[in-house]
Structure 1
Amino acid sequence: MQTRKDLMDAARRIFARDGFEVARLQDIAAEAGKTRGALYTHFADKEDLFFALFEEYIAQDSDIYFRTIDIGASFEDRIAQIIVQFERILRDRNRMLLFIEFKMYAVRHPHATKRLADLHAGMCVRGATHKLRVFPEFLLRDMKQQRRAFAIFAATLDGLALQHYFDPLGLPKVELHRKLEEVIREQVKLVAEYNAMV
């Protein structure tokens, strides 16, 4: 529906301008040229709006993975292709900062932390399901371990992105590329070792 799309586009702009915690729903509605009532017809609150954006990013990523990564390619070719995709995500400054800010918001609001972390993890697992079809080497047999593995990987990406934005001379693109490859290979190695033990 067009109204929902307009609100989500406006939310992206307002979140990028003001940050997640400071952004106000009335400003998002005004930016979209809609009423607050229209916003509440589609979203329960600001957190709900964030998750709608997150789901949209996951859908876009999944589409890109399927269009650009050849499932039948060699492991090395898939490594190279997925690094390109992660670099694309890390270059999307607004997206990365929104995700990092949202996590900071959850940490600052302990009453909501577990619910938001569980929702976030559930959406990450859903999104990762698409990646696992391209990279079965990332698949752990135990779902709790799978969540932990994804959490560690996400934390690494967040840290790399934040440090690169903060100090691009200290963490230039070439080093970012090298570190991404190192992290991906280490993740595959840990998964293989864990699966061999169970």
Structure 2
Amino acid sequence: MELPASVWELERDRSLTSSTRMECDLMIAKKPNRHEQKTRETREQLLLAAETVFVRDGYEKADLLEIAKLAGRTKGAIYAQFKSKEEVFLALVEKHALQRRALMRERLAESSTVEGNLAALRAYYVGLAEDDVFGMLMLEFRLYTIRHPDVRERLAELYKSLVPANEEEVYTALLGPAVKGSDGISRATAIHTAFMMQYALQVQMKFEPEVFQSTSPKVIAGRIFDSLFALPK
């Protein structure tokens, strides 16, 4: 089943958050001078340190001074780049999410059929089983939103930049129609459920590692994917 070109147009980038727009502008601008290059390097060092601290301690207990020390910087260096701990956290989540989205699009670009797309998405999904850093960050992102409903509006722009418009239309075109009937699950629901189950699996494997010693996380992830993305017979 060949996919129309418009399918790929449906999934094109839409609005990005201000921090992402800034980074994109920098990427296409002229070669950075020494000061600009140093600023970028500092930002990357801070985000790398923030990744360690947020994954280890969670958002609530994460300390900016600890992040600065781990990066070999001062706390002032953080505030020169970010306005708050929340902004550091969201920049980190966005960085990982955009990297993952780019990888998924790269995999999907190699296929032009529904069957090929399902195989590519499955390979991508199974590969995530061993990326517990991304899983922990995305879980922390959701927990933060639940615990702080007052920030949901601020997070809406970030979320919109990570999820395609007209989700069901896009996912159906890429992956084929969902199974109909009372047992059917829409493609958008399957996508969101699959990734949340992946993140939950990673947490459970850390909580009870002995239970999973004899089974590869990739095997479990593959079973989850197959159960959610079956094509109609």
Do both proteins adopt the same fold according to a TM-score greater than 0.5, normalized to the shorter chain?
Answer: yes
* Residue 19 (str. 1) matches residue 73 (str. 2): no
Unmatched segments (≥5 aa) in structure 2:
1-39, 177-185, 206-210
Unmatched segments (≥5 aa) in structure 1:
140-147, 190-198
Change (3 A) 1:117 1:181: farther
The answer for the alignment partner of 2:34 in structure 1 is none
The answer for the alignment partner of 2:138 in structure 1 is 99
The answer as to whether partners of 2:122 and 2:225 remain within 8 angstroms in 1 is yes
Give the length in aligned residue pairs. Answer: 176
Equivalent of 2:222 in 177, 191, 197: 177
The answer for the alignment partner of 1:89 in structure 2 is 128
Shift of 1:100: 0.7
- Name whichever of 150-159 and 11-20 sits farther off: 150-159
Equivalent of 1:122 in 132, 137, 160: 160
Mapping 1:36-185, distance limit 5 Å: 36-112=75-151, 114-125=152-163, 136-137=173-174, 150=188, 153-163=191-201, 165-166=203-204, 169=212, 173-185=218-230
SS of corresponding position for 1:40: helix
The answer for the alignment partner of 1:145 in structure 2 is none
The answer as to whether partners of 1:15 and 1:98 remain within 8 angstroms in 2 is yes
- One-letter amino acid matched to 1:73: S
Change (3 A) 1:103 1:5: same
Q: Which has the higher helix share?
A: 1
Change (3 A) 1:155 1:42: farther
- Whole-Å separation in 2 of the counterparts to 1:35 and 1:179: 44
- Whole-Å separation in 2 of the counterparts to 1:127 and 1:57: 20
- Cα RMSD of the aligned pairs, angstroms, is 3.4
Shift of 1:149: 6.8
- One-letter amino acid matched to 2:160: G
Change (3 A) 1:46 1:135: farther
Report the TM-score, using the length of structure 1 for normalisation: 0.71
Change (3 A) 1:127 1:45: farther
- One-letter amino acid matched to 2:224: K
SS of corresponding position for 1:73: coil
Shift of 1:66: 4.2
The answer as to whether partners of 2:190 and 2:229 remain within 8 angstroms in 1 is no
The answer as to whether partners of 1:21 and 1:102 remain within 8 angstroms in 2 is no
Using the aligned pairs only, state the percent identity. 25
Post-superposition CA distance 1:30-81 (Å, at most 9, x none): 1111111111121122221222122222332243234433454321122111
Shift of 1:152: 6.3
The answer as to whether partners of 1:106 and 1:116 remain within 8 angstroms in 2 is no
Change (3 A) 1:33 1:82: same
SS of corresponding position for 1:38: helix
Shift of 1:178: 2.1
